[in-house]
Structure 1
Amino acid sequence: MNTLDFSFDDSPWERFLAGRQPGDTVNAAHFLTLLEQETEEAVEDAFAALEAKRLLLDISQLPVKHHQGQAALRLRQEAELAEQGMDVSGLSETDPLRLYLEEIAQIPLGEDEATLAEQAAQGREPAAEKLMNLGLHRVVEIAREYAGCGVLLMDLLQEGGLALWQAIGTEDYLARRDSAIRAAMARAVTLQARANGVGQKLRQAMEDYRAVDERLLSELGRNPTLEEIALEMHMTPEDADTVRRVLEDARMLQRATAPKEEEAAGEENQAVEDTAYFQMRQRIAELLSVLPQEDAKLLTLRYGLEKGLPMTPEETGKALGLTVDEVVQREAKALSLLREEK
């Protein structure tokens, strides 16, 4: 009788989180690419795992959704509102956000939160309610950090308020209050990005970036600059840099989670990689000894020969105290010497 073969291997996001320590920060853009093929139930599990480990999502590299019409206008208005310290005078007198913020502004401050937190942890409801009211001021302050990121402020405030309420009554309330609020807001922004297809778009962009990087390397005989890659991909250098960083995270995850036998096989096959990218790195590694020490160091950084991650001309310049133009010129000259030596 035939038996069914079920596989219970961990998913990419589970392997990724397994290597994280409590308090670590997770790149939200990279996390979305790991969730691209997952079901809604699995996505809920992934965010629950984030919360359980107290991992905070960094949304700074999430591509900003270019909303249109009233949505775009409102998000820009709210971003300006946050920059101006939540001054609601420019909003309509009947605007729900204005009414809500004015109501919170009337809540008096000055009570001892530490004492209230102890009482709330003992199950005293009046203390919990006072703590909730005081905490709403902090929710508003933190919401300013996420304004304009694709989620309306009222939604951010509601998510933050719910996280605040769930934190009240815990023994370490004051220590984890802010992180709990930020986690809830970052989750809302990340889920909105997922709904906009950011994970799928980023994965395709990562594949395009790698292909363009390798093609230009072959054509130019040197690592292409970020600007050159961005031009080929028809995107801004800022967007290309976001893709590059997410790609680097994915490469590090792949190396960190690869089974030992696969890692050994990868090392064995490394010498015979037939892509232009790995051929160039191999040639440079063999011929560096013919170069001046400074030029050898420059190429080592540019091609990632020490840590496996190539550096941009900007990063190399900072490491060596050179300008971008100097890095590009010296790199081209060094590669020319290598080709002559070969």
Structure 2
Amino acid sequence: MNDLDFSFEDSPWEAFLRTKRAGDTVSAANLLTMLEEESEQAVEDALQALEDGGLNLDVSDLPKAPGSGAAALRLRQEAQLVEKGLPLEELEPNDPLRLYLEEVAQLSPSGNEQALAAKCAAADERAMETLTNLGLHRVLEIAKDHVGLGVLLLDLIQEGSLGLWQAIQGYREGNYAACRDYWIRFYMAKAVFLQARANGVGQKLREALEDYRAVDERLLSELGRNPTLEEIAEAMHISPEEASVVKKMLDDARLLAQAKKQPEPEEEKEAEEQAVEDTAYFRMRQRILELMSVLDETDAKLISLRFGLEGGMPLSPEETGKRLDLTPDEVVAREANALSKLRSER
């Protein structure tokens, strides 16, 4: 092990995903809140972890903000069209969505996809083409389920088509239809998730969590009992459905916190082994401190705060910046330079 191969405590999103198993469903609202102050690289890492772990990303709990402008108007129009069954006559003759729908309508909607998938696994290119054409009908059906979540229908179809191709290329055995639907939904959900992040939904959800806690405590004091979900929703001026989403996020956060506090059985039984680990940890910390002696005082403090080297929780760039009177961008830049300097000292 080289001198810099030490690990730090998991970030909230990493700890959250570690509690999940293949096939489990992850709340997009929960994950988005945890990643709200993280870097774009962390967001990419989180989505990759979902993909690698075979997890489902549920975007149904993300708020449906009406928005404004041409894009919002188009989103509302598409939602109305889907409710009517996507009648082509209500779209302009040269509308890209209409042209695409007309093209897909000409493709055969039926075929033995399981048999074709088996041929694709043997690198049969003609079978791949046929299976792709068949799958485009399914892409359209799944895209309809995601309309109204901030991404235009044609963009959803494009992302779903990438997921379809991932399914075809990666299929080896088993239920092809389940594999196909998973990848189509995952790619669409990822697009919705990233759009929600770009729209600042994570910050809004974080504020909703804080408001929910405050209202819950105030009503408890005023009523002398636990308030109902409807009472909290009314006080927050949101719907009971929206309040339910926020409550679930709070409940999940509490469960995660409890899980992190519970010691592993082996830790309770093997005190002697733990003492050895503590000694190794002490030596590792000493080595880290020696390495950090090459940094100036500000950068050394910055690294300690960012990675929790002083015994506390790792801080975000924004929290670290407040401690050191730096902007988040300055924190990120100085951190990168400091780590580069540390690596050169190994």
Using the size of structure 1 for normalisation, the TM-score is 0.71
Alpha-carbon distance, 1:211 to partner: 1.6
Question: What secondary structure, in the 3-state scheme, does the structure 2 residue paired with 1:147 have?
Answer: coil
Cα separation, 1, equivalents of 2:150 and 2:191: 9
Question: What secondary structure, in the 3-state scheme, does the structure 2 residue paired with 1:21 have?
Answer: coil
1:110 maps to 110
Give the alignment partner of residue 186 of structure 2, picking from 183, 188, 203. 183
Cα separation, 1, equivalents of 2:52 and 2:204: 28
The RMSD of aligned alpha carbons is 2.0
Alpha-carbon distance, 1:227 to partner: 3.0
Question: What secondary structure, in the 3-state scheme, does the structure 2 residue paired with 1:151 have?
Answer: coil
Alpha-carbon distance, 1:64 to partner: 1.1
Question: What secondary structure, in the 3-state scheme, does the structure 2 residue paired with 1:26 have?
Answer: strand
Amino acid at match of 1:55: L
Is 2:56 the partner of 1:56? yes
Alpha-carbon distance, 1:4 to partner: 9.5
Is contact 1:139-1:157 (8 Å) kept?
yes
Give the alignment partner of residue 219 of structure 1, picking from 219, 222, 243. 222
Amino acid at match of 2:214: A
1:123 maps to 123
2:162 maps to 162
Give the alignment partner of residue 239 of structure 1, picking from 216, 220, 242. 242
Is contact 1:83-1:144 (8 Å) kept?
no
1:294 maps to none
Alpha-carbon distance, 1:226 to partner: 2.4
Amino acid at match of 1:223: N
Cα separation, 1, equivalents of 2:50 and 2:7: 24
Q: 1:94/1:217 Cα in 2 relative to 1: closer, same or farther (>3 Å)?
A: same
Alpha-carbon distance, 1:6 to partner: 6.9
Q: 1:115/1:230 Cα in 2 relative to 1: closer, same or farther (>3 Å)?
A: closer
The within-5 A match list for 1:66-215 is 66-169=66-169, 170-172=171-173, 173-215=176-218
Q: 1:80/1:9 Cα in 2 relative to 1: closer, same or farther (>3 Å)?
A: same
1:19 maps to 19
Cα separation, 1, equivalents of 2:120 and 2:238: 52
Is contact 1:29-1:61 (8 Å) kept?
yes
Q: 1:137/1:214 Cα in 2 relative to 1: closer, same or farther (>3 Å)?
A: same
Cα separation, 2, equivalents of 1:242 and 1:196: 18
Cα separation, 2, equivalents of 1:85 and 1:254: 45
Instruction: Determine what percentage of the aligned residue pairs are the same residue.
Output: 61
Cα separation, 2, equivalents of 1:228 and 1:174: 44
Is contact 1:143-1:185 (8 Å) kept?
yes
Q: 1:209/1:110 Cα in 2 relative to 1: closer, same or farther (>3 Å)?
A: closer
Amino acid at match of 1:42: A
2:341 maps to none
Is contact 1:65-1:193 (8 Å) kept?
no
2:332 maps to none
Alpha-carbon distance, 1:7 to partner: 5.6
Amino acid at match of 1:225: T
Cα separation, 2, equivalents of 1:110 and 1:227: 47
Question: What secondary structure, in the 3-state scheme, does the structure 1 residue paired with 2:60 have?
Answer: coil
Cα separation, 1, equivalents of 2:241 and 2:249: 13
Cα separation, 1, equivalents of 2:4 and 2:71: 50
Question: What secondary structure, in the 3-state scheme, does the structure 2 residue paired with 1:260 have?
Answer: coil
Residue-pair matches, total = 259
Gaps of 5+ in 1: 262-342
Question: What secondary structure, in the 3-state scheme, does the structure 1 residue paired with 2:10 have?
Answer: coil
Alpha-carbon distance, 1:76 to partner: 1.4
C-alpha distance after superposition, 1:246-293 (max 9, x if no partner): 2112112221233539xxxxxxxxxxxxxxxxxxxxxxxxxxxxxxxx
Using the size of structure 2 for normalisation, the TM-score is 0.71
Alpha-carbon distance, 1:238 to partner: 2.9
1:282 maps to none
